[in-house]
Amino acid sequence: MRKAMPALLLSATCALSACSEEPVLSDAPPSETSAAASSAASGDAAEHDAALEGVRARAAVKLMPPALNYEDARAKLEAGVGGLFIPSWADPELLSDGPRGVNALREEMGRDFEVSIDFEGGRVQRFSEILGDYPSPRAMAEGHSPEEVEALATEIGQSLRAHGVTVDFAPVLDVDGGDLEVVGDRAFSTDPQAAGEYGAAFARGLQAAGVKAVFKHFPGHGRASGDTHLGEAVTPPLEELYGHEFVPFHTAIPQAPEAALMMGHLVVPGLGDEPASLNPRAYQLAREELGFEGTIYTDDLGGMASISENFSVPEAVAAALTAGADMPLWSTDDDINAVIDAAADVVAQQEGD
């Protein structure tokens, strides 16, 4: 029926207008009114398209997708993203001094962009064969003073920066509660105050080398019910966090005010049922309770079951931006244009409010 419709419409039109088999064409030029209307319509369409592209550009710069290799990194940068995350399975050449490294990409693209990595020391130090091998945060704190840890972090930062990395998702400010392998020796201490002091020292060291430190995982993973990589993890009730999980953040942020913050995927009783990374109340808590004014990244929105079991990456990115994230992060190889489209819808809504 859909294909036959144009013929039926033509037949009906001819019958009503008594048209002949040969259409009669007019030699008269279009009126000034019709020409002006056509020009105005074209102008409006071009303006609308330009506005949409502007929104997409402002959305893309908020995103940090993974870079798997040179071609992947370049394509995502050409799409306009503001940063690249280098996961452990990426091509090591991205960290090289050669033509397929991120340093070369900066020159080719003609603009700056963030390059991030997880490098805490110990069991979470990506590409240690290239970037160096360092002790775990727990070993750092047990064997060194905060000043010595700061110097060690400066050494780490110098290595990262030399290989093109500008953002380190470290240090961990979680307080080790003793029951979670996912935290363990990634935490500097079982004592909240010590965790904050050593975390601040590590952050200052990175920043001295020109690398942005990122405090994680707010609101605190140390006493959670499980591992957010594997599924939902719930913290103790909100009122219990003030005197324990929040202490390292309160301690470290004033001592390293240039550091950023990572929002974890933890569910906090008293803040609602959503993971913190998608929860507006969690971002409000960080801004108001901690007085934090810097950049807030999300934890991985693609490779962790606490999010991926319920949301696609475009959905999770849109939810995180709506909640208050400055830069959503994911590690999975999703369609970058689909994610930008989802982010652009949020940006358009926010700019229209």
Residues with active-site annotation: 229, 299
Query: Residue 210 in contact with residue 166, Cβ under 8 Å?
Result: yes
Q: Which two tokens stand for residue 106?
A: 């900066």
Query: Residue 342 in contact with residue 301, Cβ under 8 Å?
Result: no
Query: Residue 133 in contact with residue 84, Cβ under 8 Å?
Result: no
Q: Which two tokens stand for residue 21?
A: 């088999």
Cα–Cα distance, 90 to 79 (Å, whole number): 19
The strand ranges marked E within 136-200 are: 167-168
Could you give the dihedral angle defined by the CA atoms of residues 220, 176, 294 and 109, in that order, rounded to the nearest 10 degrees?
-110
Q: Which of 160, 48, 56, 168 is nearest to 120 (CA)?
A: 168
Torsion over CA: 74, 79, 80, 81 (sign): negative
Sheet-wide strand order for 167-168? 83-85, 114-117, 167-168, 212-218, 260-263, 296-300, 327-329
Torsion over CA: 340, 344, 350, 351 (sign): positive
Residue 5, helix vs strand vs coil = helix
Q: Which of 340, 348, 352, 259 is nearest to 62 (CA)?
A: 340
Q: Which two tokens stand for residue 214?
A: 């990122």
Query: Residue 204 in contact with residue 150, Cβ under 8 Å?
Result: yes
Residue 226, helix vs strand vs coil = coil
Omega into 217 within 30° of 0, i.e. cis? Answer: yes
Interaxial angle between packed helices 70-78 and 102-109, expressed in degrees from 0 to 180 and rounded to the nearest 10: 30
Residue 22: partners with Cβ closer than 8 Å, 6 or more residues away: none
